[in-house]
């Protein structure tokens, strides 16, 4: 009896000690919590100026101008309830500040004095270089973007036609801010999509040439406010080393996209031989293979394209249901693609800049031979022959099987 | 001589002694001597401007110089 | 001195992050510098050092069971030379624990806590490690068992998320400049693999000694596979820029972006990496503390844990003014120093021990 009583007492004691121990542990854990956020690097979201896009322009006498588009958080929280406030022009969600300096970090430190919040680069997804700066070299500015821990390698890079700052200043009606417009356009693969990482890779890799999409402001329609023009992608800038040497038009850019196997969902329109009108295909899918060859010391590139499309508009009188007309249309389709690719290829050769990354392809297949000629690769590239081999098919023709609005005898069956 | 670092180290050393000493009462004398000597070594070293001072790491660099040169080629 | 027991699986779990944790982050870039596009081949060559080291350690342990290198080196080469060698080992381990700690601090300060003093980050890590080292080998083993899955799982997720960004062509040309570049690239990871010699401090506490060799080799193999996969990953994502990045895996993880909203996951990488670094520093710390106590013939290793912590922090600063010095040390000194101390010297010890035992037997029979 006595014994069991003593046992329960000991048990009690143990339990109590256990209890105090766990309380102390709990207190300890709770007490440590305030320290977990850190002391020196504590940042509150209300202390940050979130940069959504940045533009870098060249000013005279070795100065650059850095403009940042900073997101205004209160604009979202107040305007969100009513919805669509940006239509009235009252929903300005960003502000643009700019400052001159000898390089980005210098300008940035001056810019900071104009902004009450700490500049935060982590969400900056758009960097635009001014045309003048791109022509004089972007390497120095690129170093900052790659070295600083905040800017992200996934950010998209652009070159603007003329000055870059107005691109940030425009207030697009459909999206929240112009940086978002550019990003969305890039995601549609209208022009080239080049991220910071891609640019770094293009410049440090074997070909030492890069291509960046060129953006321009679409002038606003009549009756719209001056700032309502939106930026859009007009072509491609060709960079040799880090300097811009030329541009390619939209049409050439499309050929370039074919060559780089980056083209996605756009419409191909062509005219079959011997008939009036044009046929359009959409969507178009393609598999592009670039095969470098060295035959008898001659450097040559073979482009193999396998492409298929569905008819979306037929302006000719060809009945595509009949095999013969289809063949004719397919042949025209094939010729059209060939021409596009050839044009783009000749154009890049003309610029003597290997923006297709062919140097890399050659290095991958013929490392020894490439190492020997690495120094005059650009000359070899400029003289290189190209063979284009396109296999084109039309797979579907939509909801109607004859050209619309034509009577039986107007349609050419054969 | 960096007083800040030295002071911090001194505080930490005192805290360690306060924490550890009661627990090592039963340990032989040798343990206590080793404990105190090592602490003292740390304390003395903390007085110097360590990053700029030549030390074991520096000697290793000198010792392995031929290999280092091979790697830098 | 140490009464705890661990299983051989726990040992493998302890060794895996001990090698991989720091090798994941900086080593791919160093390997890429020498091996270019063949960087994924280098871990295969480097792992040979790992297999050799594990083999040596197990053989030595079979000759002198229940002893660590500090104890049996006195028996192999005599009392005074053994003490000197023991001191060299301890010195090497303290110095390298300091270097690992500094590498950890530089990474955290360089990419996340930019304004925090590095000494605070390193001191808090040492504090944590000191507690687990005082807890003994069982605590360490269980912590490793708990943390390694946490460590591996996010790496797998990372690989899956990066698949859309893979550029498989980056792997070519394979062996474009011959076999030499990947072999030269293997030197630095080889230094990391030589760290497997640390199992000599764990083997005496193994409950199932028979499986020791198997789990040691398994661990080396797991490390090799992880390094190959990670090297391929950074090669596919970063291509020719791999060697210019300080922390390629980090840069690659920053590249993740799924459907425009699942992005910025690099903090997860950091968290994982800190878990790994924690196990790594703890294992090194434990080996140092245990070795010091054995070298001084103390009755327990716990009293020296705290003082050694201070020494580790001091060594992490000593003659290393900048992070550039730390990474230069990782390339120019550590691979050779590590292989010398942890593979070549143990190999010599093993040879001497075998010869001695044979002679001993010979005199006995004759």
Write the pLDDT tens digit of every residue in C201-224. 988 888 888 888 889 999 999 999
CATH architecture of A250-414: 2-Layer Sandwich (3.30)
How many C-beta atoms surround the C-beta of residue A66 within 10 A? 25
- Compare CB distances from C240 to A40, A204, A365 and report the shortest one's residue: A204
Contact across the interface for A152 and C117, Cβ inside 8 Å:
no
For chain A, the domains span 42-248, 250-414
Q: Which of residues 293-352 of C touch A (CB under 8 A)?
A: none
- pLDDT at position A34: 61
Strands A385-396 and C257-258: unpaired
Write the pLDDT tens digit of every residue in B3-15. 778 888 888 888 8
- Is the per-residue pLDDT at C281 higher than 90? yes
Write the pLDDT tens digit of every residue in A314-361. 888 878 788 888 888 888 888 888 888 888 888 888 878 888 888 888
- pLDDT at position B53: 79
Write the pLDDT tens digit of every residue in A265-274. 678 888 887 7
- pLDDT at position C325: 84
Asked if the peptide bond before residue C45 counts as cis, ω within 30 degrees of 0, the response is no
Write the pLDDT tens digit of every residue in C86-103. 999 999 999 999 999 998
Any chain C CB within 8 A of the CB of B13? yes
* Residues in B touching C300 (Cβ below 8 Å): 27, 31
Specify the range with the lowest mean pLDDT, choosing from A7-11, A176-180, C116-120. Answer: A7-11
Query: For chains B and C, what is the number of CB pairs under 8 angstroms?
Result: 114
Any chain A CB within 8 A of the CB of C113? yes
In angstroms, what separates the C-alpha of C304 from chain B's closest C-alpha?
Answer: 5
* Residues in C touching B64 (Cβ below 8 Å): 332-333, 336-337
CATH of the domain at C182: 1.20.1740.10
**Which chain C residue has the Cα nearest residue A197?**
C238
DSSP 3-state percent helix, strand, coil across chain C (nearest 5): 85, 0, 15
Closest by CA position to C252, among listed C276, C229, C235: C235
**Which chain C residue has the Cα nearest residue A368?**
C176
DSSP A195: B
Residue C3 lies in a domain: no
- Is the per-residue pLDDT at A37 higher than 70? no
- Is the per-residue pLDDT at C52 higher than 90? yes
Contact A57, A64 (CB under 8 A): yes
Q: With residue C182 as reference, give the H or E element that holds it.
A: helix C180-194
- Is the per-residue pLDDT at C289 higher than 50? yes
Spatial separation of the C-alpha atoms in residues A355 and A341, rounded to whole Å: 14
Spatial separation of the C-alpha atoms in residues A72 and A96, rounded to whole Å: 10
- pLDDT at position C363: 65
- pLDDT at position A88: 44
**Which chain C residue has the Cα nearest residue A363?**
C173
Spatial separation of the C-alpha atoms in residues A339 and A347, rounded to whole Å: 12
Spatial separation of the C-alpha atoms in residues C343 and B62, rounded to whole Å: 21
* Residues in A touching C240 (Cβ below 8 Å): 201, 204-206, 360
Chains C and A touch, using 3 or more CB pairs below 8 Å: yes
pLDDT in tens, chain B (73 residues): 577 788 888 888 888 888 888 888 888 888 888 888 888 888 888 888 777 777 888 888 888 888 878 877 7
Contact A414, A324 (CB under 8 A): yes
- Compare CB distances from C307 to B35, B60, B64 and report the shortest one's residue: B35
- Where do the DSSP E strands lie in A130-228? 156-160, 209-217
Residue A77 pLDDT class (50, 70, 90 cuts): low
Chains B and C touch, using 3 or more CB pairs below 8 Å: yes
Residue A382 pLDDT class (50, 70, 90 cuts): confident
- Compare CB distances from A201 to C241, C263, C264 and report the shortest one's residue: C241
- pLDDT at position C366: 47
- pLDDT at position A74: 75
DSSP A319: -
How many C-beta atoms surround the C-beta of residue A60 within 10 A? 6
- pLDDT at position C194: 92
DSSP A62: T
Contact across the interface for A41 and C257, Cβ inside 8 Å:
no
Specify the range with the lowest mean pLDDT, choosing from A374-378, C264-268, C360-364. Answer: C360-364
Spatial separation of the C-alpha atoms in residues C44 and C223, rounded to whole Å: 10
Any chain A CB within 8 A of the CB of C162? no
Number of domains in chain C: 1
Closest by CA position to A279, among listed A268, A288, A294, A290: A268
* Residues in A touching C263 (Cβ below 8 Å): 154
Spatial separation of the C-alpha atoms in residues C114 and C110, rounded to whole Å: 6
Q: Give the residue-averaged pLDDT of C94-119.
A: 87
What is the predicted ipTM? 0.89
- pLDDT at position C329: 84
Look up the domain containing C311 and give its range.
Answer: 8-357
Contact across the interface for C336 and B67, Cβ inside 8 Å:
yes
- Is the per-residue pLDDT at A230 higher than 60? yes
- Is the per-residue pLDDT at A83 higher than 60? no
Spatial separation of the C-alpha atoms in residues C151 and C112, rounded to whole Å: 19
- Is the per-residue pLDDT at A306 higher than 70? yes
Cβ contacts of B19 within 8 Å, gap of 6 or more: C306
Q: Where are the alpha helices (DSSP H) in A260-301?
A: none
- pLDDT at position A310: 86
Residue C44 lies in a domain: yes
Q: Where are the alpha helices (DSSP H) in A323-376?
A: 323-351, 358-365, 367-373
- pLDDT at position A413: 63
- pLDDT at position A82: 43
What rounded mean pLDDT belongs to chain C? 87
Contact C45, C180 (CB under 8 A): no
- Helices (H), strands (E): how many in chain C? 16, 2
Choose from A149, A203, A210, A292 for mutation: most chain C CBs within 10 A: A149
Contact across the interface for B12 and C310, Cβ inside 8 Å:
yes
Any chain A CB within 8 A of the CB of C264? yes
What rounded mean pLDDT belongs to chain A? 81
Strands A94-101 and A209-217: unpaired
Instruction: Classify burial at A314, counting beta carbons within 10 Å of its beta carbon; exposed 0-12, middle 13-18, buried 19 or more.
Output: buried
Contact across the interface for A200 and C263, Cβ inside 8 Å:
no
CA dihedral C140, C142, C144, C147 (to 10 degrees): -130
Spatial separation of the C-alpha atoms in residues B20 and B23, rounded to whole Å: 5
């Amino acid at each position: 009896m006595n014994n069991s009583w003593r046992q329960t007492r000991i048990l009690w004691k143990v339990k109590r000690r256990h209890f105090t121990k766990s309380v102390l542990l709990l207190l300890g854990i709770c007490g440590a919590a305030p320290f977990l956020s850190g002391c020196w690097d504590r940042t509150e979201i209300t202390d940050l100026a979130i940069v959504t896009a940045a533009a870098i322009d060249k000013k005279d006498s070795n100065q650059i101008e850095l403009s940042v588009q900073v997101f205004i958080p209160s604009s979202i929280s107040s305007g969100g309830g009513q919805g669509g406030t940006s239509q009235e022009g009252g929903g300005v969600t960003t502000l643009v500040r700019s400052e001159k300096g000898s390089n980005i970090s210098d300008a940035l430190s001056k810019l900071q004095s104009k902004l009450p919040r700490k500049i935060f680069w982590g969400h900056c997804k758009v960097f635009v270089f001014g045309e003048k700066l791109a022509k004089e070299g972007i390497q120095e500015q690129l170093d900052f973007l790659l070295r600083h821990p905040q800017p992200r390698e996934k950010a998209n890079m652009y070159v603007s036609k003329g000055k870059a700052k107005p691109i940030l200043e425009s207030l697009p009606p459909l999206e929240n801010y112009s940086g978002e417009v550019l990003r969305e356009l890039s995601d549609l693969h209208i022009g080239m999509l080049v991220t910071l990482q891609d640019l770094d890779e293009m410049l440090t890799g074997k070909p030492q040439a890069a291509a960046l999409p060129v953006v321009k402001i679409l002038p606003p329609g009549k009756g719209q406010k001056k700032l309502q023009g939106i930026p859009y992608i007009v072509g491609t800038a060709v960079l040799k080393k880090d300097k811009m040497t030329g541009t390619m038009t939209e049409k050439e850019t499309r050929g370039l996209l074919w060559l780089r196997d980056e083209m996605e969902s756009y419409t191909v329109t062509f005219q079959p031989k011997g008939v009036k009108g044009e046929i359009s295909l959409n969507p178009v899918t393609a598999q592009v293979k670039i095969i470098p060859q060295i035959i008898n010391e001659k450097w040559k590139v073979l482009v193999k394209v396998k492409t298929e499309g569905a008819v979306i508009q037929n302006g000719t009188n060809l009945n595509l249901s009949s095999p013969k007309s289809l063949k004719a249309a397919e042949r025209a389709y094939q010729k059209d693609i060939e021409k596009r690719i050839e044009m783009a290829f000749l154009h890049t050769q003309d610029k003597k800049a290997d923006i297709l990354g062919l140097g890399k392809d050659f290095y991958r297949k013929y490392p020894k031979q490439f190492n020997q000629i690495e120094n005059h690769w650009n000359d070899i590239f400029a003289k290189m022959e190209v063979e284009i081999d396109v296999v084109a098919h039309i797979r579907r023709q939509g909801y109607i099987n004859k050209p619309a609005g034509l009577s039986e005898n107007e349609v050419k069956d054969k | 001589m960096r007083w800040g670092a030295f002071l911090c180290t001194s505080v930490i050393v005192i805290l360690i002694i306060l924490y550890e000493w009661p627990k090592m009462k039963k340990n032989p004398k040798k343990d206590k001597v080793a404990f105190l000597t090592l602490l003292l070594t740390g304390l003395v070293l903390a007085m110097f401007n360590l990053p700029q001072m030549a030390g074991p790491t520096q000697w290793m660099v000198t010792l392995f110089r031929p290999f280092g040169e091979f790697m830098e080629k | 001195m140490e009464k705890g027991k661990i299983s051989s699986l726990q040992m493998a779990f302890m060794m895996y992050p001990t090698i991989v944790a720091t090798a994941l982050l900086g080593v791919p870039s160093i390997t890429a510098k020498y091996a270019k596009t063949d960087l994924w081949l280098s871990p295969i060559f480097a792992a040979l050092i790992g297999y050799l080291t594990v083999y040596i350690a197990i053989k030595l342990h079979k000759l002198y069971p229940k002893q660590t290198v500090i104890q049996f080196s006195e028996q192999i080469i005599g009392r005074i030379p053994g003490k000197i060698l023991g001191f060299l080992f301890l010195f090497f381990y303290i110095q390298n624990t300091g270097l690992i700690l500094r590498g950890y601090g530089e990474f955290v300060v360089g990419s996340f806590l930019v304004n925090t003093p590095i000494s605070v980050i390193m001191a808090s890590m040492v504090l944590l490690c000191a507690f687990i080292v005082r807890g003994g080998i069982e605590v360490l083993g269980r912590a490793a068992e708990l943390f390694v899955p946490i460590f591996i799982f996010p790496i797998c997720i990372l690989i899956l998320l990066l698949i859309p960004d893979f550029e498989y062509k980056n792997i070519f040309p394979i062996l474009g400049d011959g076999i030499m570049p990947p072999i030269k690239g293997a030197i630095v990871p080889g230094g990391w693999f030589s760290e497997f010699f640390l199992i000599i401090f764990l083997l005496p506490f193994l409950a199932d000694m028979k499986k020791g060799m198997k789990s040691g080799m398994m661990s080396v193999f797991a490390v090799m596979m992880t390094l190959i996969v990670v090297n391929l990953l950074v090669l596919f994502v970063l291509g020719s820029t791999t060697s210019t990045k300080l922390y390629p895996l980090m840069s690659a993880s920053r590249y993740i972006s799924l459907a425009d909203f699942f992005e910025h996951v690099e903090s997860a990488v950091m968290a994982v990496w800190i878990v790994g670094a924690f196990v790594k520093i703890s294992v090194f710390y434990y080996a140092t503390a245990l070795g010091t106590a054995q070298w001084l013939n103390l009755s327990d290793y716990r009293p020296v844990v705290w003082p050694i912590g201070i020494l580790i922090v001091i060594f992490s600063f000593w003659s290393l003014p900048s992070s550039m010095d730390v990474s230069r040390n990782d390339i120019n000194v550590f691979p050779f120093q590590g292989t010398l101390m942890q593979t070549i010297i143990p190999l010599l010890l093993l040879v001497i021990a075998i010869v001695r035992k044979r002679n001993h037997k010979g005199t006995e029979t004759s």
